[in-house]
Amino acid sequence: MDWKETLSLKGYRLSKPRKRVMDLLESAQVALSPQQIHQQLQQEGHDIGLVSVYRTLDLLTKLDLVVVIYDPQRNPGYTLRSDGHHHYIMCQVCHKALEFTGQDDIEALVQRVEEETSFQVRDHLLQLFGLCPDCQHHQIQTR
């Protein structure tokens, strides 16, 4: 099901801010902060306020259409969510983010944490940081 159908089925209309934010995220190569989204939409000539961007991202996150990814400085960025449960790895230099699966690998850790803390884990966020192949290659060439 595409994001437009999800909005409709959940009782939300396809407003211009929602369409513009989703169109931008669909074409983005990296996770974008609300400020970056606002700035790019303004540069494209769209009259959208920063508050509208935040509200749109909040709704799209609640509807599981977008996901928050944190940059190396722990600032949030947004990207489209794909089907299934995924984790992310982000390049510390160029901020390219890629998904990887790993639900089964973390179950033992979650169980151990639940036993040690008596918490009931309901969700988790796993994100790794490193250097992508392009930045590794560039780093080797500049030595």
Instruction: Note down the domain range covering 114.
Output: 83-143
Rounded to two decimals, the pTM is 0.75
- The residue among 21, 122, 112 whose CA lies nearest residue 66 is 21
Same domain, 55 and 124: no
**Domains of the chain: total:** 2
The string of pLDDT tens digits covering residues 54-93 is: 999 999 999 989 999 988 888 899 998 877 677 889 899 9
Q: In the listed set 81, 100, 125, which residue is the last one of a domain according to the structure? A: 81
Which of residues 81, 114, 130 is at a domain's end?
Answer: 81
Q: Are 128 and 88 members of one domain?
A: yes
How many CB atoms neighbour CB 104 within 10 A?
8
pLDDT of 1 reads 65
Cα(78)–Cα(66) distance, integer angstroms: 6
Round to whole Å and give the CA distance between 100 and 82: 11
